[in-house]
Amino acid sequence: MRALLPQLTQAARVDLALTLAGAKPLARVSCAYRDAERVIGALRRLGLAARRWERALRPAVADADDYVVSAVASDEAAAPDARAFVFAARDGELAELAARFTDDDLIAGRLLGYPDCCVQAYLAHREHHHARLEPAFAGDGGASPYWTNTMLDVFGWHLLSHFPCRADCAASRAQAMRHWEALCRLDPGFGLAAVRHLRSLVLRHPRLGLVYGQPLADGGLLLLGGSAAFRAALGGAERVERRPGRLERGGQAVSGVETFDFTAGSDDGHPV
């Protein structure tokens, strides 16, 4: 799929694979506005119905590496940073409806298959979600289940396309496990890698963006990924030391770091 759709991110291609496999009813992906027709043509060759929202999107809030956290509707389709929403489904009417109701968060969320409790929570915490990558409940000091980790979408890893309303949302967990099972059947190695990445500590710096990794018993952190700027500030190290509010490597330190723990959920066994 990467060769057919190089304009899309890994996370978008995952959603399309889940839609093709029947695990998701509908996928919403974004691409540069100038690429939208090529993307729609490729989706149709895959056997999916595809529709583009009539308006363009312009970035409103961006994180490091220009990852777009939120965007606003625009009629400036020719702008260099203009992006398009493209909806893909096996059911053409569903794709058409989604394109028609893109700017109605309640209807769009339901068409995309998000649990109603999570749609309502998104509406209640809209300001938070327009500015930040984590669920509203994350960062309270406790460990959240790995499947609630929405922060690694920028790096291509997620099991949910929505923000779960709570760390114990049964509907979101069931959906995440369905998606995981489908991924494992499509590519077992990728399914295992997804959980390895998602079950991590995610650290955010206001200027450098994100890094994430697996916590070690001695207080270290084995880095699995991160923004180019943050990795460079850590000297490209694979292992760093964690201290309250900062990361250290040798004599270097990056301070002002927020930590989000998504290491819970180890009771979820491999589905295949």
The residues near 61 (Cβ < 8 Å, ≥ 6 apart) are 68, 69, 70, 130, 131
Both tokens of 224, joined, read 């699995």
User: In this predicted structure, what is the pLDDT of residue 200?
Assistant: 97
pLDDT < 70: residue spans in the chain: 60-70, 140, 266-272
Taking residue 233's Cβ as centre, other Cβ atoms within 10 Å add up to: 21
Between the alpha carbon of residue 170 and those of residues 133, 142, 151, 165, 207, the distances in Å are 21, 18, 20, 10, 35
User: In this predicted structure, what is the pLDDT of residue 268?
Assistant: 54
User: In this predicted structure, what is the pLDDT of residue 140?
Assistant: 66
Q: Is the dihedral of CA 29, 30, 33, 38 positive or negative?
A: negative
In single-letter form, the type of residue at position 157 comes to W
Give per-residue pLDDT as tens, 49-85: 999 999 998 876 666 555 656 678 888 888 998 999 9
Residue in 192, 234, 241 with CA at minimum distance from that of residue 210: 234
pTM: 0.91
Taking residue 36's Cβ as centre, other Cβ atoms within 10 Å add up to: 22
